Amino acid sequence: MKQAYREIQGKRSRKIRFALLTTIMMAMLVLQACGNNTGGNGASASGGSNTEKAGEEATSTSNVPAVLNFGFIGSNKLNVPGGAEGWGFYKGIIQEELKKYGITEVKLTGFPNGPDQTESLISGRLDIGSLGDTPAIIAYASGAKTRLISQSSANTIGYLIGKKDGPKTVKDLQGKTIAIQKGSFMHRYVVGLLQEEGVTDYKLVHMLIPDATAALARGDVDATTNLGVPALKLIDQGYTHLDDASKHPNLLGSSATVVSEDYLAKFPDFPKVWNEAREKALADLKQHEDEYYQFLAEIGDTTPELAKQVNPISDIKDTAFTDEGTKLLEGTKNFLVEEKLAKKDFNISDWQLK
């Protein structure tokens, strides 16, 4: 009898526990359904909690290095480039945006020309670089593992300057020596210009701008290329203004911001983050135009008036890519391939990362 009684009591206890467990589970399901329907109290519209989303974001940025290495062309006492990027670094706008993703320091390095910068990108010393389109294209065509994430300007004007008492026209350069920076935008501009003018017999020598300017003054070269304020200063000093790219829309240069594929593997969302930060810097720049031109004057060792003449804010693109800029890239790439300055042809769209 006692044994039978114990069995009956055990069955009753199991039934009670099962009923309680079922009630608790039903209550939890009802509460969860209510939470998903309302989307409030920490739940997202898709049903994921804020805690879950935060965890996903942490995972997506967990591999982002704390230091970003950025390269640009030129050197100045502020160690920043011009344009929206330079203004953003100068005012700390870009740094603040990048901090949201774990980048606590940006190291900026100036380079004398594009080819030198691309070498640093290829070797891994840089993560991102802003340079002229020509060296960026040549590097990519040679196998550099980079992606193009923005083209902030498409109106770079190269100048061809003749020595004093030397050639007076482009055609006068037949049989003459011209100093250029090999693999740069100005290299492409000069070769394209001479081709248009029918000049076929000439010698190009590679010199950085300071060396080329000194060689021009000594008469060691008949002409040289230059950009912006330095070019205008040479003209003011009596050197001959032979030509400039403003007269040849197809020979204008553009900028290229490229990122190494190694860095993108660590931070796939970087292009979006970068371009949003740059756009914020540009919006701020437009609210402080006079201060911006003073900033350009300081880094360019010139006056705000001349800085405004050479680098007007209207030349800065407010989106990562434009039809105008892409068309210019296509023309430059085709020219470089035809002249065998670029090792192989490729589709610009395969290089761009939109």
Residues 239 and 303 in one domain: no
The residue among 106 and 54 whose pLDDT is bigger is 106
What's the pLDDT at 60?
53
CATH code of 167's domain: 3.40.190.10
Tell me, yes or no, whether 240 lies in a domain: yes
Residue 9 lies in a domain: no
Helices marked H in the chain — which ranges? Answer: 2-38, 50-61, 83-91, 93-99, 114-123, 133-141, 185-197, 209-218, 228-236, 261-266, 270-286, 289-300, 304-310, 323-338, 348-351
Tokens matching residue 351: 């290089």
Residue with tokens 């201060």: 291
Report yes or no on 125 lying in a domain.
yes
Q: Give per-residue pLDDT as tens, 293-327.
A: 999 999 999 999 999 999 999 999 999 999 999 99
| pLDDT score, position 235 | 96
Share of the chain above pLDDT 90, in %: 80
Within this chain, do residues 272 and 238 fall inside the same structural domain, yes or no?
no
Same domain, 133 and 203: no
The answer to the question of residue 221 being in a domain is yes
DSSP letters for 225-293: EEEHHHHHHHHHTT-EEEEEGGG-GGG-B-EEEEEEHHHHHH-TTHHHHHHHHHHHHHHHHHT-HHHHH
Model confidence pLDDT, tens digit, residues 237-251: 999 999 999 999 999
> Looking at residues 271-280, what average pLDDT do you find?
98
Predicted confidence at residue 111, as pLDDT, reads 95
236 lies in the same domain as 257: no
Are residues 150 and 262 both part of a single domain? yes
Q: What is the mean pLDDT of residues 3-28?
A: 43
**What confidence score (pLDDT) does residue 25 get?**
44
Q: Which two tokens stand for residue 73?
A: 């062309």
Are residues 263 and 131 part of one domain?
Answer: yes
pLDDT at residue 11 above 70?
A: no
How many domains does the structure of the chain reveal? Answer: 2
Range from 32-46, 108-122, 181-195 carrying the lowest mean pLDDT: 32-46
Residue 97 lies in a domain: yes
pLDDT at 165 over 70: yes
Looking at the domain assignment, is residue 14 inside a domain?
A: no
Q: Could you tell me if 234 and 218 lie in one domain? A: yes
End residue of a domain, out of 191, 216, 251: 251
Asked whether residue 37 carries a pLDDT value surpassing 50, the answer given is no
Question: What torsion do the CA atoms of 104, 76, 221, 335 make, to the nearest 10 degrees?
Answer: 40
* Domain coverage including residue 245: 158-251
311 within domain boundaries: yes
Q: Sorting pLDDT into bands at 50, 70 and 90, what band is 354? A: confident
pLDDT of residue 220: 98
- Residues 238 and 108 both lie in one domain: no
Q: What pTM value is reported for the model?
A: 0.80
Of 203, 224, 251, which residue sits at a domain end? 251
Q: Looking at the structure, do residues 167 and 218 belong to the same domain, yes or no?
A: yes
- Residue 39 backbone phi and psi in degrees, to 5: 70, 5
Q: Do 214 and 336 lie in a common domain?
A: no
**Shared-domain flag, residues 260 and 309:** yes
| Domain annotation covers residue 36 | no
* H/E run at residue 205: strand 202-206
Residue at which a domain ends, from 251, 275, 299: 251
Q: State whether 225 and 281 are in the same domain.
A: no
Q: Are 228 and 148 in contact (CB under 8 A)?
A: no
